[in-house]
């Protein structure tokens, strides 16, 4: 009988083990520290075959806590989604599975952490700066044991000039410099809680309310000079350096830099300005104890398009490229027209628009040009700043790809005909000259024989003498 009871107990234990399994909570910690107002997700799962996995907690009716149950095969998961966490939601949360015979339970304690920070701002000449993160924990039995301060991955005790840092519950920085500015982390160790609570505290940089006064001229043809300037309130600080730049290049490094005067002052004068001088300028002013301040100044110019050639002749199937060279600042937008209609590139894969000198769509390329591409092309540069438009046009003609052969064939034909005419003329002239010679011989032949006969009869030894 005792043996039978033992067998029944063993079988029952195996069945319970198979049906119930284990309950797992993620994150796998006994106590979880959550900042007030934060959101948190906690997952509970089991390999049990029963649909009775559930969370048990005090505030089941709170709208900020929602349990989502999912079953996939033999695995069950119940995810607890918590929003806007507060001290009222702190406490013990249990996840359990009940197979009707036994109950397996796992618990996690949620601890509310309310932060109160002290985040100073760096000011030139400060003697000290104190950073702090004080926390209030709920439930109240949780107590702070210690605080460790770090900056980035380094403890403040290992930072350069670490003797200036006094790290206790708060962090005191003696004789702070701008290099000390940044985010510091207070690792707060809570009694009986395995993972410290991380609190980020900022040592903020000084922000001056700098209100610049600018002079931003506009280019006009015939201007003798252009003056740009930027004045700022220095808040009683000393100006250490002034540097003028254009396109991130110091003025002294530009071509014809001798036309730019006073590059070490807050006023820049340009002699004999051209449209190419228009653009964005920066006067970089350095005050003692502060990073450089960049004051951006525009030298404005209306839209302008350089002239095209009057026309462009192309052979069928050639590639065509038109470049619209635009100037102006702020930069105008470029649009191409053909025969007074906007060029539609979306319906023809042969047509492509590319940037040129920083202006979008300023290069027009047509591959394998056709007779239908003939026409008048116009490049329009529109400036919304000035509400002005500049336009230049060019006429494009397309010739047959054999067009260049016809003049050559015509020349060849002319040469052949001319040679034939010369040949025939020479042949006829030679024939006429030969005829005249023959006629002359026939005319002069008998008298010559008579003269020769007379001369022979008077010669000694002649039988006829």
Break the chain into its structural domains and give their ranges: 19-113, 119-203, 213-299, 303-399
pLDDT surpasses 70 at 465: no
Residue 456's H or E segment, with its range, is helix 405-457
Please give the average per-residue pLDDT across 402-419, as a whole number.
79
pLDDT of residue 388: 96
pLDDT of residue 276: 93
93-123 residue pLDDT tens? 999 888 777 888 999 999 999 999 999 998 8
144-154 residue pLDDT tens? 999 999 999 89
**Smallest Cα–Cα separation from 164: which of 206, 117, 126?**
126
Please give the average per-residue pLDDT across 196-211, as a whole number.
86
pLDDT of residue 197: 96
- Domain at 119-203, CATH class: mainly beta
User: 21: pLDDT confidence band, cut at 50, 70 and 90?
Assistant: low
Q: Three-class SS of residue 446?
A: helix
Q: What is the distance between the alpha carbons of residues 119 and 200, in angstroms, rounded to a whole number?
A: 10
Asked which of 100-109, 187-196, 379-388 is least confident by mean pLDDT, the reply is 100-109
| Of 86 and 430, more confident | 86
Tell me the pLDDT of the chain averaged across its residues.
86
Asked which of 2-11, 165-174, 231-240, 311-320 is least confident by mean pLDDT, the reply is 2-11
The one-character DSSP state at 214 is E
pLDDT of residue 444: 65
Residue 76: strand pairing partners: 46, 71
Check for a shared fold between 119-203 and 213-299: yes
User: 442: pLDDT confidence band, cut at 50, 70 and 90?
Assistant: confident
pLDDT surpasses 70 at 196: yes
In percent, how much of the chain has pLDDT > 90?
58
pLDDT of residue 4: 38
pLDDT of residue 431: 77
Please give the average per-residue pLDDT across 153-169, as a whole number.
91
Is residue 256 within 8 A of residue 206, CB to CB? The reply is no
**Smallest Cα–Cα separation from 226: which of 175, 281, 171, 148?**
281
pLDDT surpasses 50 at 6: no
Is residue 257 within 8 A of residue 251, CB to CB? The reply is yes
Which CATH code is given to the segment(s) 303-399? 2.60.40.10
Please give the average per-residue pLDDT across 311-337, as a whole number.
94
Which CATH code is given to the segment(s) 213-299? 2.60.40.10
Question: Which string of b and e fits 229-253 if b means at least 16 CB within 10 Å?
Answer: bbebeeeeeeeeebbbbbeeeebee
pLDDT surpasses 70 at 443: yes
DSSP-assigned states of every residue in 63-113: TTEEEEEEEETTEEEEEEEE-S--GGG-EEEEEEEE-SS-EEEEEEEEEEE
Is residue 88 within 8 A of residue 41, CB to CB? The reply is no
pLDDT surpasses 80 at 53: yes
Please give the average per-residue pLDDT across 272-301, as a whole number.
90
Parallel, antiparallel or unpaired: strands 31-35 and 103-118: parallel
pLDDT of residue 260: 93
Please give the average per-residue pLDDT across 175-182, as a whole number.
88
Q: Which CATH superfamily is domain 19-113 in?
A: Immunoglobulins (2.60.40.10)
User: 433: pLDDT confidence band, cut at 50, 70 and 90?
Assistant: confident
User: 49: pLDDT confidence band, cut at 50, 70 and 90?
Assistant: low
pLDDT of residue 183: 95
**Full-prediction pTM beyond 0.85?**
no
pLDDT surpasses 60 at 41: yes
Please give the average per-residue pLDDT across 269-274, as a whole number.
94
pLDDT surpasses 70 at 129: yes
Q: What is the distance between the alpha carbons of residues 186 and 191, in angstroms, rounded to a whole number?
A: 16
Please give the average per-residue pLDDT across 52-78, as a whole number.
89
Please give the average per-residue pLDDT across 443-464, as a whole number.
51
């Amino acid at each position: 009988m005792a043996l039978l009871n033992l067998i029944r107990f063993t079988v029952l234990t195996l069945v319970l083990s198979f049906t119930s399994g284990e309950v797992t909570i993620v994150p796998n910690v006994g106590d979880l520290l959550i900042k007030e107002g934060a959101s948190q997700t906690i997952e509970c799962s089991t390999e049990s075959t029963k649909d009775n996995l559930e969370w048990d907690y005090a505030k089941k009716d709170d709208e900020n806590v929602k349990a989502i149950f999912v079953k996939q095969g033999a695995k069950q998961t119940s995810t607890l989604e918590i929003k806007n966490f507060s001290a009222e939601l702190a406490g013990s949360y249990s996840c359990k599975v009940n197979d009707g015979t036994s109950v397996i339970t796992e618990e996690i304690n949620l601890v509310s952490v309310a932060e109160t920070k002290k985040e100073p701002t760096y000011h030139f000449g400060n003697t000290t700066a104190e950073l702090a993160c004080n926390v209030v924990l709920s439930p109240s039995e949780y107590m702070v044991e210690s605080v460790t301060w770090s900056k980035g991955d380094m403890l403040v005790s290992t930072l350069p000039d670490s003797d200036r840092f006094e790290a206790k519950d708060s962090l005191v920085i003696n004789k702070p410099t701008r290099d000390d500015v940044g985010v510091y982390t207070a690792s707060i160790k809570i009694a009986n809680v395995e993972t410290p609570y991380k609190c980020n505290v900022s040592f903020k940089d000084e922000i001056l309310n700098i209100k610049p006064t600018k002079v931003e001229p506009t280019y006009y043809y015939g201007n003798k000079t252009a003056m740009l300037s930027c004045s700022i309130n220095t808040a009683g600080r000393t100006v250490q350096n002034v540097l003028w730049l254009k396109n991130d290049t110091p003025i002294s490094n530009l071509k014809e830099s001798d036309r730019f005067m006073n590059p070490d002052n807050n006023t820049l004068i340009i002699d004999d300005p051209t449209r190419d001088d228009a653009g964005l300028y920066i006067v970089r002013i350095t005050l003692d104890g502060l990073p450089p301040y960049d004051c951006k100044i525009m030298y404005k110019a209306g839209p302008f398009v350089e002239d095209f050639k009057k026309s462009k002749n192309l052979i069928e199937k050639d590639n065509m490229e038109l470049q619209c060279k635009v100037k102006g600042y702020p930069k105008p937008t470029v649009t191409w027209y053909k025969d007074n209609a906007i060029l539609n590139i979306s319906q023809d894969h042969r047509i492509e628009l590319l940037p040129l000198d920083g202006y979008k769509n300023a290069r027009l390329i047509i591959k394998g040009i056709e007779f239908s591409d003939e026409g008048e092309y116009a490049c329009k540069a529109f400036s919304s700043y000035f509400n002005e438009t500049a336009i230049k046009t060019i006429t494009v003609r397309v010739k047959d790809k054999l067009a260049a052969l016809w003049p050559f064939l015509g020349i060849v034909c002319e040469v052949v005909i001319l040679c034939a005419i010369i040949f025939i003329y020479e042949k006829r002239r030679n024939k006429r000259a030969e005829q005249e010679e023959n006629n002359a011989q026939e005319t002069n032949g008998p008298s010559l024989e008579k003269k020769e006969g007379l001369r022979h009869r008077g010669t000694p030894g002649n039988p006829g003498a």
